[in-house]
Structure 1
């Protein structure tokens, strides 16, 4: 992007991300070994200017750059907080997550918070300014605004289900954002729904003849997928089923015949939206994909927990056991020798992070149908589950009670979606977290149903003083 001046005044990341200081931690910016080590730094964002039509694309790309920064820390929140991993390295951040001793100083909690508000800020910037830029075609104006609203909705959705109530940042005004308290989780989620509903009409169904753009830029199916997940979390079973069915019926995505494509390919046929990283991502601000690869494969700071290994090796998992691999030379001490394979290095063909894919949509529809007590038949949950089982070359499932069906779906989400950032959120929304996590770790505490508000943010934003989540 071109560096520009805004009113001849430098705008820094820390100054404009002021909901709670909202500083951005770099993951892997300088070296693949420095995952969460560097301290927060100020970044010049003078390129955020919308004065003429030529400014629109750089700001749009800045929005997606911020958006992809949510990817890796959200995977860490969703899967490292839960029962998927055990600590195997030296970094405190992962020791806290693996041993269920999370503190308000945890760097992952601060990194996700910063990524969320970086995305929210740029979305607000677009919303405030794009209507005043001369020479922008109306179709471009409405599409970019819709993209901004989708990104803001997604960021706030992740924030609300990770931290509970969070500051509702609706402006780019620095003094306002430097002193803003927590809104309720309900208020944040209402804004999420409003943003998704506003974005949906103005986004394209797809980008014909451009497979990569269609999977890395927001489309109608990306918003529908976000809405289906939203309705599932809100227990609006009718809308969850209906929205999932709309996505499936577009036939814009299809299940790959082999589950290996999910693990080892980018832009595969079932991806709805993924965040992409270039091979030169060393200079990529935010969270570079090789951060996950280094944590899971290079340094192996965390490894698949033994109970998860047993689940993935079960007959019902089928070929989805390829999510992990075993090396006997690494098996020593507490190291079980297993490694996650879903994230390659920047030079591999699987270094992107999937946000939405078709298999999740089938699982959403299956669960919504079970909750409506439609278990079998043409429009029953079992057909959707067995479609995924067939793809994974696993035996067909069977169930005849709602309770049993829900447990089958819970397990199916483990087989299908491991290390895509769902498990902790799934256990919370289904009310299963205390039973599962207490059995998994003697250190589990109910307070871990939410991540802590980062202590650094409370220190920067006086409106957050005394507003920490219980127990931290």
Structure 2
């Protein structure tokens, strides 16, 4: 916890410094002179690195949920609110994608500054190499979010200086992926295998590479990087599925990479986004929480119907909740919202004691995901290898929590049946963690699944639009077809 508080404290301090800077593509030419002067010691390089981590927050939490869940089949917008209508109905406006674009490129430019200026500072060469590699790995993370959402985007590998070279054209998706894989591969080889909470290390780089290669359909490389993480012996599943999402278990044995939060200093909005929104009348806030929570996102009817009975299901969604005082009693969702209106809420991230000041970390990637990646990749590389069952059944065994009739071990499946089984396992194991839409897209199922739910999804909507404002600012940019 001491490490977490220190990192967050530095992040917040550096964030205040950054608020005086112009955003990417509108940078003051004098700004880079002061930035260059800032980098004069190892401590300056580390402070700059924490500034990059500050930008990572914009990629996760609600942003990851909106891009990876709300526009997929697991989640929908609560019938009591309309603030996420664009995500649920695929009518993204310019403001939604603009914020994502600007945040990603702000992070990329900050990472480029760290890598560029740190290289010129005179201090221990090994430490310098680690900082530069870490900055480039963070840059890769920003580019990964951009390229899978929008396709090919402009590549910048050096800091912007004034208005020079700020209007680069779109690179191809292949060129962007080449940069991403190069930087993360370097990080996997260069960085230590352990790090302070919230910072990248070699194992995290391997885990991200396993995920990215899986998304790309490069199953051999995905398997190799997943096995690097598994064979390290540094991770395992929590015996209790619920513990992967509790504040008291932050940075635990299952957590490969988490975004760090600390109640009262940097709060995680996810629990409030999923909690049942308070209603006027006799119930209001008095049951679920003492403050008004966002309550924007609900599990879809399809998810409720198709999620098999298991302990994991009971952790993930609930149809009732106890009064916040722990004494008064319980209320069902039907009693509060009416029959069939809002029958379940996502209980997986409940942090009601802190309400809108949740300190639970956000899971970017955890060990269960790596086991499922390894199982899926092995099924493609060597479908007869029974090790794939060991990995997927380990996840299922934890999910059923000793009830053998729930989620029995898998065996004897055809290669295609195993493909479907591991995709379904990912659906329910990683539900509402920002992965579902991407899993459907990489498997070519997104359009059919969403249309089966009655959504008006056209073929071009596999990619998000480039923000109109960025096209106006940069005449070299072109819009994704259809938008």
What TM-score range do you get, normalising by the shorter chain?
A: 0.7 to 0.9
Structure 2 equivalent of residue 31 of structure 1: none
Unaligned runs of 5+ in 2: 1-9, 276-292, 321-332, 401-406
Q: What is the SS of the residue equivalent to 2:389?
A: helix
Aligned to 1:38: none
Structure 1 vs Structure 2 CA RMSD:
2.8
C-alpha contact (below 8 Å) 1:88/1:301 kept by paired residues: yes
Partner Cα separation in structure 2 for residue 310 and residue 189 of structure 1: 37
Q: Tell me, what secondary structure is at the counterpart of 1:356?
A: strand
Equivalences for 1:141-152 in 2 at 5 Å? 141-152=128-139
Q: Give the secondary structure class of the aligned counterpart of 2:365.
A: strand
1:253 pairs with 2:235? yes
Q: How many angstroms apart in 2 are the aligned matches of 1:446 and 1:93? A: 25
Q: TM-score, normalised by structure 1?
A: 0.83
Show structure 1 runs of 5+ residues with no match.
23-42, 208-212
Q: Which residue among 273, 290, 294 is the counterpart of 1:295?
A: 273
Which residue number in structure 1 is paired with residue 330 of structure 2?
none
Contact map agreement 1:102 1:448 (CA 8 A) in 2: no
Moved more, 409-418 or 393-402: 393-402
TM-score (norm 2): 0.81
Q: 1:316-327 maps to which residues of 2 (within 5 A)?
A: 317-327=310-320
Matched, 1:438 2:420: no
CA–CA distance in 2 between the matches of 1:161 and 1:321? 32
**Quick one: distance in 1 between partners of 2:173 and 2:223?**
24
The structural deviation recorded for 1:399 is: 4.4
- 1:121 maps to 2:109: yes
Instruction: Provide closer, same or farther for how the CA distance between residues 3 and 446 of structure 1 changes in structure 2, counting only shifts above 3 A.
Output: closer
Name which of 205, 210, 215 aligns with 1:233. 215
Give the conservation status (yes or no) of the 8 Å contact 1:11–1:45: no
Q: Would the aligned equivalents of 1:93 and 1:106 in 2 still touch at CA under 8 Å?
A: no
CA drift of 1:294 comes to: 3.0
Q: Tell me the distance in 1 between the aligned counterparts of 2:445 and 2:143.
A: 24
From 257, 266, 279, give the equivalent of 1:273. 257
Shift of 1:171: 2.2
SS of the equivalent of 1:289 reads coil
Corresponding position of 1:368: 377
8 Å CA contact 1:231, 1:239 repeated in 2: yes
Separation in 2 of the partners of 1:341 and 1:170? 42
SS of the residue 2:163 aligns to: helix
1:419 to partner: Cα distance: 1.1
Which of 129, 154, 166 aligns to 1:167? It is: 154
8 Å contact kept, 2:79–2:342 = no
- Matched positions, count: 424
Deviations, residues 125-156 of structure 1 (Å, cap 9, x unaligned): 0111001123x322321111111011111111
> What is residue 399 of structure 2 aligned with on the other side?
392
Match of 2:84 among 91, 94, 114: 94
Q: Which has the larger radius of gyration?
A: 2
Once the two structures are TM-superposed, the CA of residue 425 in structure 1 deviates from its matched residue by: 0.8
